[in-house]
Amino acid sequence: MRRSLKYLYVLLSLGFFGCNQLASQDGVFNVTAEKFKHLTSHKSVLVVDVRTPEEFEEGHIPNAINIDFLSKDFKPTIEKLDNKQPVYIYCRSGRRSSKSTVDFKKAGFSEIYNLQGGIQEWKSLKFPIKHLE
């Protein structure tokens, strides 16, 4: 009986993570644009655009803040953020945001969501973009 419960638990766990595509061993979750949009639909979440300020001004995901990954102030700035909450990060294509997950981990974040394909994927699905006024 105990053995079959163990197998059932393993099967259910695999099925859950497979369906949601959120399995992670290190707290970093690479998610699709659809999932990212769903997860960031609340205004109180921490969404970080790690592109340059110029790229950010051209258009960004609503409610995002801009912290340039290429800036010398990147690490000190993210260390000031509330690392007790999940962070949702993106860039143009997903490369810089993927690299930045290491720094977010070092800053104490344990739940990090990275937008696969970056804002390019977001835009291709015609999701909302905000421009600075």
Structure tokens given for 20: 């949601």
Identity at 109, one-letter amino acid code: F
Q: How far is CA 68 from the centre of its chain?
A: 15
**pLDDT value at position 37?**
97
Positions annotated as catalytic residues are 91
Q: End-to-end distance of the chain based on CA atoms, in angstroms?
A: 64
Residue 74 has pLDDT above 60, yes or no: yes
Identity at 121, one-letter amino acid code: E
Q: What is the mean pLDDT of the chain?
A: 87
Global pTM exceeds 0.75: yes
**pLDDT value at position 24?**
62
| 12 pLDDT tier (thresholds 50, 70, 90) | very low
| 86 pLDDT tier (thresholds 50, 70, 90) | very high
Protein fold of 24-124: Oxidized Rhodanese; domain 1 (3.40.250)
